[in-house]
Each structure stands twice: as structure tokens, then as C-alpha cells.
Amino acid sequence: MKGIEVFAPATVSNLGSGFDIIGFPVEDIGDVVVIKPVSQAEIRIVHLGGYGDIPREVEKNTASFALGKMFQKLEVKRGVELEIYKGIRPGSGIGSSAASAAAALTGANEWLGRPLSQLQLVELAMESEGMVSGSRHADNVAPALMGGITVVRSYNPLDIFRIEPPGQLYTVLLHPHIEVKTQTSRKILPRQVKLEDAVRQWGNVAGLIAGLQRGDYDLIGRSMEDVIVEPARARLIPGYDQLKTAAVEAGALNCSISGSGPSVLALCKGRENAEKVKSAMDQAYQNRQISFQSLITRVNPRGAVVQRKW
Amino acid sequence: MKGIEVFAPATVSNLGSGFDIIGFPVEDIGDVVVIKPVSQAEIRIVHLGGYGDIPREVEKNTASFALGKMFQKLEVKRGVELEIYKGIRPGSGIGSSAASAAAALTGANEWLGRPLSQLQLVELAMESEGMVSGSRHADNVAPALMGGITVVRSYNPLDIFRIEPPGQLYTVLLHPHIEVKTQTSRKILPRQVKLEDAVRQWGNVAGLIAGLQRGDYDLIGRSMEDVIVEPARARLIPGYDQLKTAAVEAGALNCSISGSGPSVLALCKGRENAEKVKSAMDQAYQNRQISFQSLITRVNPRGAVVQRKW
């Protein structure tokens, strides 16, 4: 084999109450990684394209870092050249670091004859998340690798299950062009929470899981309420409250911060409502000095996929 | 109408991770309340039977207290005489206070022509819980009134949904004959929890809900892990660790404290396994100086039911 090309999708996570445990990949947006085996035992990044403002150093780039861990684990004696095409802006809150790592790991696993399970790939990709953000969270890497709505029941031991997305679930994503580093966004979280707030949050998590499993859209919307993370992070996103109000008034099920932000997501029932919500959010953000992009997308049932081998 | 007799079941709650949000009624055990309307605007307890060691004062008894709130809300100008037959020992951790209130409210609502919804009855019964324990929790009163597995998504506003119990779910209940007051058991809980523990707990809550909805018994078992409440309360129950070990080693899905204890519950898949788990738990508790009762039961799909009207 001379080369392998893998696409891994962008992912939204948390969905309000489900901080650090729930996420899903979106359609169309993602990173592409090309892996070319070489004989010397070295990982090299030979090309960075797209939104390429990410580290080229092997120890700081999430794709190469994850591969380093993988090769160490499997005692791989050869090396690879990596081409990374970033379709996801770094620091946008839709799993940029996770997608590159997921694509690289999937490609290398394919090259080596699939010695590792998906759960093992998730564990390796979590190492990259730990390296860039200081936290080994799986709520972007798991959906980027596995597809569908993924839920991390436990980090130790790692235990993840999937939920089939309800048929009429649409997502509006709005990405203000400011960068929020995951590391910053994690530092401002409270280290302790009141027991009563924790109970309120897990009541909402319960509703979110039941709502997603049953396709009970109203329950999904009510259950996205987040009394712990959103209050801390909302101030990192100029105009977040107005965006949320606009989305909800236009009929969105609810609206929350995607991952660590600044991207904002609104869940909607049906495409028609999603169009309406997107317009309302666009309008609410138009008079700000911040440029932005917005789009309508759905839960991508597939995670990272091999696109080409030669 | 001269009289009405209502049965309301005992309930187990929490199921490990789902503190204050999840509960279900069991079969066979419960309280019976007889209501006889009288013309004077007064609520009187005329008989206390069964495990009758509960307050007879109208303001301290959960059944009469709840009725007082109800009559106030509805501006009822008449009164009732109450007979209360306690099939549930007070302070046993299986919703003794909740069952009496649920039975009384259901009876009075029937007498008055059902002016209140079940959710409104739950709210009234929560007042009684607040009066006896200092906490207006709904995870016993909701299942005692509604039946099935109930989940409190939100307390404010009150929002409760039901889950149909998986067909092979059995419960072993072991009740050591010591009393643990809910109030005491609440006081020893931490007021603040680490964010990482809260995340771990809501990962488990997510798994518990998904497991119960899907009938994924292994997922149910893994998800009962409770890193917040059990560590604080286990020491109120002599021999709890041994009981849990015995249950799990005999093949129970998992084992946890029922409500605020001291009753201990083990969930099992199938009756055969439940028999085995019950034997193991009985044996583990036999050389203690504490007498106990144990039984096998299932999720009761019905809550409080009118048994007789005349």
C-alpha cells in the first residue's frame, strides 16, 4: 500500500446538559488526512492545508501525536508521512483537534490491518485531546470515530454507547469567527458544583437520553438546560444570549454552546424549522462586528471513513 | 359516597446513580388509606394500623398533611376521617412516608371528582416529603402515584416521564431492621461535589436511562455506579459492603441503597438469578446481630389504586 486517505467529521458535543459525555458528528464538514507509509521509523507532517494554522511539530499536532502513541503501543517499526487538510477551523468548538486525530488513527489502523478496536482508537485519540486541552475528554473523538450520537457512560474504564438519531433532528450551527481555546474554556469551569445543581443537571441528562432514544423532540429541548457549564462559558461568546433567544423564539428545540465554543448549535425538528431558526440566528448576529458562518446539518451516522487507498 | 379505600405501593428510589430522580414501585408491599368524608371542615386520623409507629398529629402525618395542602388549594369546605394501615415500616427506605401521602391524595381526588392531575398530586405529596425530611424530593411520591419507572427531569417546573420496565427485571430487597431517618441520611450528604464526580455520575445516569429503555441489563448494572451518595450513606448500614459483594458475586446486575436506606436493593435479570441473589444476601447478613427481611419483587406498573368505594 502506498497511501490511504481518510475523512473524519466535525463534531458537536455537550448538547447543553451532557457536558463531556454526549456528542455527534455533522455532515459535510471535516478534516482529511493522507497517510503514506515510509520505511524509516518516523512520523512526519509533509503538508498542512485548509485551515492550516495548527502546529506542524509532531509532538504538538493532534494527528501525529495520536499516531505516535499508536505506534508505541503496537511497536510499529516503520513510519508515515502525513498530509493534513483542515476542513475545520481550529478553536471553533466543533472538534477540530478530534477530527484530525480520528482520521489519522483510522488510516493507520487500516494500513496495519485493523489491529485495534474502535474503542482503542478512541482511547488513543483521547491522549491527543489531553495534550492540546489538558483534559482527556472523549465527547468529540468518540463521535468522530464511531458516528451517530455517542454517549460516554464512563471514562474509567472507557465505556461508550450509541443512540440512533431521531429522523427529524436537524442542527443549525453558527460559528462566530473568534477563537476560543479549549484550554481557556476549561479553566473557567467551576471545580466544585452544588449537589442540587448536579442533581438538576443529571435530571436533564436523563431527559436528553430518553428524548433522543424515543424521538421525543420536546423532551430533548427541555432537557438541554445546562445549569453548570453554560453559565460559565456563555460570556466567552459575544452575543450568545441574543443568539439563543433568537433561536428559541424561532422555534428551535433549544440552543447551546458546541463543545467549548464559540460555535453555537440549535437543535430543531424538521428542515423547515431549521431554515427559520438559521435565518433568525443570522439576523441576530448580523449587526455585530464579528464575521460568522452558519449552516444546517444533521447527525452523521458514520464516523471517520477511508475514502481512498492506492 | 361514604368511604373510599386506596392502596399505594412501596417504592425504591435512586438505583445508585439516579439520586433524587429515579424510582419505581414494588409489588405487594404498600399502605392502605381509607377516607370517609365528614361534614365538618376537619381532617382527623381515626385509626393507625400495621406498622403504626408514625405521628397521629394531623400536621405531622404525611397523609393528613398532604390532604391539608390539597383542601387548602381546592378550598374544600368539608373534612375527612382517615384510617391508615401501614404495610411499610417507617424509616425503611422504601417510601413509607410517600405511600401514605399518595394513597390519601388519590382517595381524596377520587372523592372530589378528580379535579387534580397526577402531576398536581405529586406536587402536593412532595410537600409532605419536605415536611418529614426537609427535602421536597419526588423520587418516591412520583412512582407511588404514577407507577412504572419514573424519572424526574426537573423539579422546577416539575417535569416527570415514565419508562416501561424491561420484562426480565427483578428486584431483591433486603431490609435490615434498623431505622435510618431520611433527614439524617440527607444531612450527611456533601453539599458540593467535584465537577469530575458530577460528570461521572451523569454519565452513569445516561447509561441507566438508556439501559432501562432498551432492556440492556448489563448496561443497567454498570450504570448503577454511584460515586456521590453511596460513599456517604453506606456507613449508615452495617454490613452494606458485604451485602453488595454477595449480591454482585451471585450475579446481580448491581446493588445499591434504596432511597435513604437502610433497605438495600439488588437488580437482577430473571427470577432464577433473583432467587440466587436473595439467598446470597440472606446468607451474608445472617451472622449479624440485626434481624432482617428480604423478598423478591418486580416493578409495579401501577401506582396508587382505588380498591373499594361504598
Question: Rounded to an integer, what distance in angstroms lies between the CA atom of residue A26 and that of residue A91?
Answer: 17
In Å, how far is B230's CA from the nearest CA of chain A? 14
- Cβ of A207 and B22 within 8 Å? no
Summarize the confidence of residues A197-217 as an average pLDDT: 98
Residues of A in contact with B22 (CB under 8 A): 206
Catalytic option among B106, B182, B230, B297: B182
- Write out residues 211-240 of A within 8 Å (CB-CB) of B: 213-214, 219, 222-223, 225, 228
User: Of A177-186, B6-15, B69-78, where does mean pLDDT reach its minimum?
Assistant: A177-186
> Quick check: B204 contacting A, CB < 8 Å?
yes
In Å, how far is B19's CA from the nearest CA of chain A? 7
Residue B179 has a pLDDT of 83
Question: Rounded to an integer, what distance in angstroms lies between the CA atom of residue A88 and that of residue A19?
Answer: 21
Cell 379505600 belongs to residue: B5
Residues of B in contact with A18 (CB under 8 A): 202, 206
Phi, psi of A86 (to 5 degrees): -85, 110
Question: pLDDT tier at A84 (50, 70, 90 boundaries)?
Answer: very high
**Residue A50 pLDDT > 90:** yes
Residue A242 has a pLDDT of 96
Question: pLDDT tier at B90 (50, 70, 90 boundaries)?
Answer: confident
- Write out residues 130-159 of B within 8 Å (CB-CB) of A: 151-155, 159
Residue A170 has a pLDDT of 98
**Residue B274 pLDDT > 90:** yes
Question: Rounded to an integer, what distance in angstroms lies between the CA atom of residue A130 and that of residue A123?
Answer: 11
- Cβ of B228 and A192 within 8 Å? no
| C-alpha pair distances (Å), A285 with each of A146, A233, A241 | 33, 18, 11
Q: Are A161 and A22 in contact (CB under 8 A)?
A: no
**Residue A52 pLDDT > 80:** no
B27 is catalytic: no
Helix (H, G, I), strand (E, B) or coil at B31: strand
Chain A residue with minimal CA distance to B164?
A210
Summarize the confidence of residues A235-247 as an average pLDDT: 96
Question: Rounded to an integer, what distance in angstroms lies between the CA atom of residue A140 and that of residue A98?
Answer: 6
**More confident call, A281 vs A136:** A281
Summarize the confidence of residues A163-179 as an average pLDDT: 95
Burial of B283 (0-12, 13-18, 19+ CB in 10 A): exposed
Cell 487538510 belongs to residue: A85
Q: Are A187 and A133 in contact (CB under 8 A)?
A: no
Cell 413509607 belongs to residue: B96
Residue A3 has a pLDDT of 96
Summarize the confidence of residues A148-155 as an average pLDDT: 97
In Å, how far is B151's CA from the nearest CA of chain A? 8
Asked whether the CA dihedral A231, A234, A236, A241 is positive or negative, the reply is negative
Query: What is chain A's length?
Result: 310
Closest CA to A307 of A47, A4, A3, A1: A4
Model confidence pLDDT, tens digit, residues B167-179: 999 999 999 998 8
**Residue A92 pLDDT > 90:** no
- Cβ of A219 and B161 within 8 Å? yes
Residue B122 has a pLDDT of 97
Distance of CA A37 to the CA centre of its chain: 28
Residue A214 has a pLDDT of 97
Answer whether 0.80 is exceeded by the pTM.
yes
Across the interface, of A151, A191, A193, the residue whose CB is closest to B210 is A151
Residue B135 has a pLDDT of 87
- Cβ of B159 and A193 within 8 Å? no
Q: Are A253 and A269 in contact (CB under 8 A)?
A: yes
Asked whether the CA dihedral B8, B9, B10, B16 is positive or negative, the reply is negative
Question: pLDDT tier at B288 (50, 70, 90 boundaries)?
Answer: confident
Closest CA to B212 of B156, B165, B142: B165
Residues of A in contact with B198 (CB under 8 A): 193, 198, 201-202, 228
Helix (H, G, I), strand (E, B) or coil at B90: coil
User: Of A15-19, A100-104, B153-157, B288-292, where does mean pLDDT reach its minimum?
Assistant: B288-292
Residues of B in contact with A151 (CB under 8 A): 203, 206-207, 210
> Quick check: B205 contacting A, CB < 8 Å?
yes
Burial of A170 (0-12, 13-18, 19+ CB in 10 A): buried
Question: Rounded to an integer, what distance in angstroms lies between the CA atom of residue B19 and that of residue B259?
Answer: 8
Most A-contacting residue of B19, B24, B162, B199 (CB-CB within 10 A), to test interface:
B199
Model confidence pLDDT, tens digit, residues A58-69: 999 999 999 999
Question: Rounded to an integer, what distance in angstroms lies between the CA atom of residue A125 and that of residue A119?
Answer: 10
> Quick check: A176 contacting B, CB < 8 Å?
no
> The complex's ipTM?
0.95
Q: Are A140 and A20 in contact (CB under 8 A)?
A: no
Residue A134 has a pLDDT of 85
**Residue B52 pLDDT > 80:** no
- Cβ of B22 and A190 within 8 Å? no
How many C-beta atoms lie closer than 10 Å to residue A57's C-beta?
10
Q: Give Cβ neighbours of residue A61 (< 8 Å, ≥ 6 apart).
A: A45, A54, A55, A84, A100
Chain A residue with minimal CA distance to B214?
A213
- Cβ of A151 and B203 within 8 Å? yes
- Cβ of B225 and A154 within 8 Å? yes
E strands, chain B, are 4-13, 22-38, 43-50, 79-86, 149-155, 158-163, 169-176, 192-194, 254-257, 264-269, 292-298, 305-309
Most A-contacting residue of B202, B216, B220, B226 (CB-CB within 10 A), to test interface:
B202
Catalytic option among B129, B150, B171, B297: B129
Question: pLDDT tier at B182 (50, 70, 90 boundaries)?
Answer: confident
Domains of chain A: 4-163+300-309 (3.30.230.10), 169-298 (3.30.70.890)
Residues of A classed as catalytic: 129, 182
Residues of A in contact with B151 (CB under 8 A): 203, 206-207, 210
Residue B183 has a pLDDT of 81
Residue A177 has a pLDDT of 93
